[in-house]
Amino acid sequence: MNGGGLLVAGTTSDAGKSVVTAGICRWLVRQGVKVAPFKGQNMSLNSFVTREGAEIGRAQAMQAQACRVEPSALMNPVLLKPGGDRTSQVVLKGRPVGELSARGFFGTGDARLGTGLHGGGREALLATVVECLEELRSSHDAVICEGAGSPAEINLRRTDLVNMGIARAARLPVLVVGDIDRGGVFASFFGTTALLAPEDQALLAGYLVNKFRGDVSLLEPGLDMLRSLTGRRTYGVLPFRHGLGIDEEDGLAVSLRGAVRESAVSEPAGPQVLRVAVCAVPLMSNFTDVDALAAEPGVVVRFVDRAAELADADLVIVPGTRGTVRALGWLRERGLAGALARRAAEGRPVLGICGGFQLLGERIEDEVESRAGTVEGLGLLPLRVRFAREKTLGRPHGEALGERVEGYEIHHGLAEVTGGEAFLDGCRSGSVWGTHWHGSLESDGFRRAFLREVAAVAGRRFVPAPGTSFAALREQQLDHLGDLIEEHADTDALWRLIESGPPADLPFVPPGAP
């Protein structure tokens, strides 16, 4: 017998689906429920590698942590990684199977896919998505699913597999989250409901208000009117809290780094802060690599796109990107490439991660990602990069600066290091470091050792705080999300939804889908 389930949808993108899903997962696991997260299809440049070597969205990896289970490819069977305005790499059950245009993904052909996906389009993927969900449900008491965007995108409903498509296929009750901080939440709840077909409306159980500021009693008349208009209740009103995001799909507003950027920087352990500038390159991927830096007391992290903003930085990071050659051109166009070269010549610290590591080298041969052929790199590190069609996915571990380090790799570029000092399977030359390893800065001992090295090279009197545990901070953050659900949602009613499905008496709200 399959376990219970729930789909957390949203009135818009970034309404809070990821954090609400994680919060429900953490609340459930604290009640002794064996729970797993799920998102049928994700579009994101922030991804993670499971222990089995499968690539999934980072949000689902963090939701797995909320569930206290190992991440699995079953939790995110379809991952789309944008490579431009109109194309994405399709990752199916953790493995890349080819490139797909927007037209191809929506069922009109024009795809370049490998043998891992036959037929093209979303319709070909629904059976796989349902199969993965059912496998999770067969081994868990509950599976909490996250939708994408809005379930009322009427132009996409026919081929939908992440919102009402999967809800109808798996008979999941649907909870719609709305961000009241943006305004218009009542209209969004009503409009979302009224634009769904009768069969979909029968699964939409009710609403959850997110990011409310003020006295809830002032909101209650509106919630009562919404119930009279739609026949659906509101399952909770979550208050606005700073810094309670988890690793998101795209954007720069949430996660631990967001918490630091939105509030006062923690007091440094030593006499000075350390200033970190992250180049906001196009198609930036896994920018969550810098979250662990931002969690350090006295480390100030900011994202920059102008050369002048590098001037006072003690460390500049060139992060990962899905478009290495494109990012290289962007750095040159904006004068950032010249600023990086001057930093290296002056012995000032630079760190390149994954794509950022590749473009710091001497030469890039790319017939895969950009198909630009041979392109000269910035020449700050002694390496040459050749793009392979096969993607490298792994969970490496090792030692650097006298400390144990763990990370994960996601890249097509193969680096041939021709000099310098060894550094996390990459290299160091003077004040410039480079590695393919994402997540290495989450290793506490290594992060502190690296920051001490950077501070010494930069001439800053910065001292890393001795007790910062990034893993403990993440656990604390997930517990805060669980607390929000436990304290501000009707958890008894939520559990009835998860266990028994949508109420049988949900009325139809006209006009319905056209």
Q: Calculate the alpha carbon distances from 54 to 49, 130, 468 in Å.
A: 5, 19, 30
The whole-angstrom distance between residue 484's C-alpha and the CA centroid of its chain comes to 21
- Strand 95-101 to strand 373-376: parallel, antiparallel, or no bridges (unpaired)? unpaired
Provide CB contacts within 8 A for 215, sequence distance 6+. Answer: none
Cβ atoms within 10 Å of 197's Cβ, excluding its own: 15
Provide CB contacts within 8 A for 470, sequence distance 6+. Answer: 256, 291, 292, 295, 442, 444, 447
Lookup result for tokens 């739609």: 230
Report which of 280, 231, 253 is spatially closest to residue 182, judged by C-alpha positions. Answer: 253
Q: Which are the catalytic amino acids? A: 354, 438
Q: Rounded distance, CA 450 to CA 484, Å? A: 35
Report which of 474, 84, 47 is spatially closest to residue 286, judged by C-alpha positions. Answer: 47
SS (H, E, C) 278-313: EECCCCEECHHHHHHHHCCCCEEEEEECCHHHHCCC
Q: Which two tokens stand for residue 203?
A: 């699964």
Q: Which two tokens stand for residue 501?
A: 């499905």
Q: Which two tokens stand for residue 359?
A: 């473009």
Secondary structure class of 65 (helix, strand, coil): helix
Report which of 466, 403, 442, 80 is spatially closest to residue 257, judged by C-alpha positions. Answer: 442
| Beta strand extents in 354-493 (DSSP E only) | 363-366, 373-376, 383-394, 397-400, 403-406, 409-417, 421-423, 426-429, 432-435
Lookup result for tokens 């191809």: 104
Contact 315, 347 (CB under 8 A): no
